[in-house]
Each structure stands twice: as structure tokens, then as C-alpha cells.
Amino acid sequence: MWLKNLAFIALATMALASLANWLLLPPQVQALDQPVVVRADDFNLARQAIDRQFHDAWSQANLQPTHQADDLAVARRISLGLVGTIPSLEEIRLLEQRPEEDRLQWWVDYLLNDRRYGDYMAERLSRAYVGTENGPFLIFRKRRFVTWLSDQLMANRPYDELTRDLISETGLWTDHPAVNFVTATVDQDGTKEPDVARLAGRLTRAFLATRIDCVQCHDDNLGGDLKQSDFHELASFFREAQNSFVGITDKKGRPYAFRYLYADEEVTVPAQVPFNQDLLEESGGTLRQRLASWVTHRENKPFARAIVNRVWAVMTGRPLVEPVDDIPLEGSFEEGNLPAGMEPLVDDFIAHDFDLKRLIRLIASTEVFHLDSRSEHEITAEHEKLWASFPVSRLRPEQVIGSINQASSLHTLNAESHILTRLVTFGETNDFLKRYGDAGEDEFSLDAGTIPQRLLMMNGNLVKERTKDNFVRNAATKVSQLSPDDQTAIETAFLCVLTRRPTEQENKHFLAKLQNEDLKTRRTQDFEDIYWALMNCTEFAWNH
């Protein structure tokens, strides 16, 4: 019996040593031979056109851009933008095995093929499409909608096709999840029919980045050309949509009547688009199908601008044009109406059949995306406005909780994780978001963090549980006990939590703290304190 016990102990010791060697020590093997998407020549030409416009803007403003950020800082941005969490230590090790010349290119492709990308991007986009509320339960399934949207993104379905489904799909909200775009507006206490005004407002903001809903009640009296009639004529395209026992259908000839401001009585409102009328097909299909074809027309540039601006904002934390859903309908970069980078991105997106993954790869390859947020020279508000430095932005609530959970694990938390790990993470995430708060549809607010949010991070159970002595669940305990020396332990902690190595000053400070302790138990406690301090530092909660 004692021989069996001895053999078990030996095997367990070898397993722990192997884990420590792989995760805690820098790898001494050749870079993994994993596939990378080959970028065509026109990809490089598009990137150069984007970079040129930014350089022109900097030159005109007499701004000196910051230097390039290091690879790990850029990898952290990419990870936060595409999967909503920081890279795991396991992923950092894989990343650093790649040759420097294709390291970040490989990282983008790696994440775009991870289910976390589809789920995270679907959640972010769904806020623009159906909002953040649960909606009418009997005829609206947000989780079903987000799952469907994630599937479309993973398959890299052309964005114009996806959008046409959202606008014109028919059927039951369970079997045809795209119709949840329509059913989300159904008033359960009133008509029990889709709200044409809400649909028009949602459509223009989400797919055209135009706030035409501002003229729903009156004409634009601030110098604009939009009239109240423009809004309701657009809303009239949804007048045929009806809620029935077979789901959403279209009833031909159904009228839409509205009484305009200062009018004596209601009038029947025709279906008409507020701009680019020549792109609207006179016939063919239902009203919603005609509207969908007009919205996604290749020459209707507001459509491409809307998603380019939103994806840029998701990836960087700030849109090219603010607010994200209010882009000028006319003009160009040269005329000063559109920001640097917008037109080349839009033209490439259209030319390549509304390919979202290509758009993401292109954004991640730009010089702007690789700039540092810090500099030896003064960084002014103009630097961030014109993207001469990478803008610093607060992490969204789901990015905060995702990063806390990931920093607490040496392995990557993804769809391949154990089912129990995923269930526990799901429950903790929902609880944290309720307590931490959510910005709702105001996705890119620049508001500072609240005192309750800081207190939740510092005193809340989640961070406390993620840093206390627990070898099974917490990276802090594993790192403190498996590291061959204090130097490796400190470096590993910084990589896990901040996706970087400690500076010389930081290293010296924490080494002194650990080396003053003689007892192993006290050393473990001190290391957990270090982990807690890193999770609560300002750097952890910001994209930079």
C-alpha cells in the first residue's frame, strides 16, 4: 500500500512541477506552428491610407504622436475589445512564442476564431439593436437573439445580409431569432403590435448612425434639414408588420396615420426615406424588405459608417465620431466633416462585401491602435481627440468582472473550460454586474467610476474570494506556492493581472516585502495581498 501512496505522491509532484514549468517560467521552445490569415496586398494599401489620414490630421494640428506601445499592451487592448477580458497567462505564453513580426496578427486571428469573440461582440451589438431591457417576455427572447447573433458573427456572415434579416425577417421569435428586433418594441399593455416609431428610431441610430428620432415630435429648429414628416415617413415602412399566432408577418395595405404638430387631424403617412431616395426600390417585396435593401445599399454610406464607428469604439473604448450614433450624413475628411480614418475604413468595408472580421483586422493593424497612451512629452486633450495617443478609457462592467476572473486563473477561461467552472463564473458575473452597475445603452460614456464601484472592488466578496488562500481556484495561491523563486512569482502576478512585467522599482519593492518573511504561511498571505493590490490599482480597471 505504501508503494502505491509513494507512486501517487511522485506523480502528483511531477504534475505540479510540469504545471509550474509551463505556466510560471518563460517557455524555451519554438513558436507554435499555428495558422495565420494571410493579408492581401490591398489590405496593406487600406491600412496605409488610414495611417496617412491620421498623419495629415496630426500635421495640420502640429501634434507629435506618442511612440508605439509594446506588444503586451496592444495584445491586452485587442483582448478587451474582442472577448471582453484580459489575456490569460497561458495565452501570454503562447503569444510570446510567436515570431515578433506576426505575433499580434496571430493574436487577432486566434481571438476571432474563439467563441468568446462571437458571444462578446454579439452582446455589445445587441445593445444597439434591441436595447438592454428584458422586453415583453412572451414574444421576446433576448438570450436567444444574442446566441443567434453570435452564430452569425462566428460564421462571419456579411453584415449587410445580417442587417436585412433584422429589419425584414418574419416568423416566430424562437425559430427566427432575428425577428426579436421587431418584437422587442411590442407594447404588451397597449396595441400588442410592433411600435413603428420605436422601430424607426432604433433603425436609424443602430444602422445609419443618424438621430432622426429627434424630429419625431417637431421639425429640427436648430438649423437642420430634417422634418417631423421625415421621421414618420420612415416609420411607415414598418406599418405592415404585425404580431400574429405564427409570429411576425406583414399585412399588405395596412395604413399608418399620424397627426403632425399643429395639424388639425391625422393624415395617412406614405413610406419614404429621408435621404438617398434614388437608392430606394420602387417595388419588390414587402415594405420592410424594400427598407432593408435601401439601408444596406452599397451606395448608402451611412450604413457602413455606422458599423465602422461602432466596431472602432468597441475595440478602443471610444468612437471615431462622438456620439457613436450621430455621424454627419455628408462630407469627407478633407472637408472636415468626417474624422481621419473613417473614409478608408468605410470604403474597404464596402469593397470587401461588408466583412466584419476583415474590418476588425484592419483596425487592429493601424498605427493609431498601436500608439502608447503615455509619452515623454506632454499629452493634451487634442492628442486624444485626434488619436495622436491611444485614449485611456474605463473598462465596462463586464470587462471588469471578466478580467477579475481571468486574472484569478492560470488557464484560459473559455468554452473549453470545465462546465462547473463556467457555471460558477456565470453566476458570479451576474451577481457582480447587478452590484457594480451597467451603463446600459450609453456604451461609451466617459463618466468616472463611482465610489460604490470602487468599494465593491476593494471590499466586495468577489475580489476577496479571488485572492484568498485557495489552491484549487485562485492563481494567487498557485503562483506563491509553485514559483521557484520570488522574482518569478512577482513577474507572473504582474502578467496575470496587468498583462505586463513589473518595472525595476516595482520589482524591488515587492521583492523586499516577500523576502522579509521567514514563515511560508506568512509569505503566502503577503503574496495574496500583492495580488489584491494589483487588482485594485487604477491600471487594472482602465483600457490604455
**Structure-block grid coordinates of residue 462:** 468577489
pLDDT in tens, 314-373: 999 999 999 999 998 888 888 888 999 999 999 999 999 999 999 999 999 999 999 999
Cα–Cα distance measured from residue 278 to residue 268, given in angstroms and rounded to the nearest whole number: 23
Q: Ramachandran region of residue 519, left (φ > 0), alpha (ψ -120 to 50) or beta? A: beta
pTM of the full predicted structure? Answer: 0.90
- Mean pLDDT confidence for 272-281: 94
Integer Cα distance of 544 and 538 in angstroms: 11
**Per-residue model confidence as pLDDT tens digits over 176-213:** 999 999 999 998 667 789 999 999 999 999 999 998 88
Tell me the C-alpha distance between 346 and 48, whole Å.
14
Q: How does pLDDT run across 411-459, given as a tens digit for each residue?
A: 898 888 777 777 777 777 777 776 666 666 666 665 555 656 655 565 5
Contact predicate 379/66, CB 8 Å = yes
| pLDDT for 103 | 95
Sequence-distant (≥ 6) Cβ neighbours of residue 424 within 8 angstroms: none
What is the residue extent of each domain of the chain?
41-115+299-383, 116-295, 393-543
Torsion of CA 266, 268, 269, 270, to 10 degrees: -170
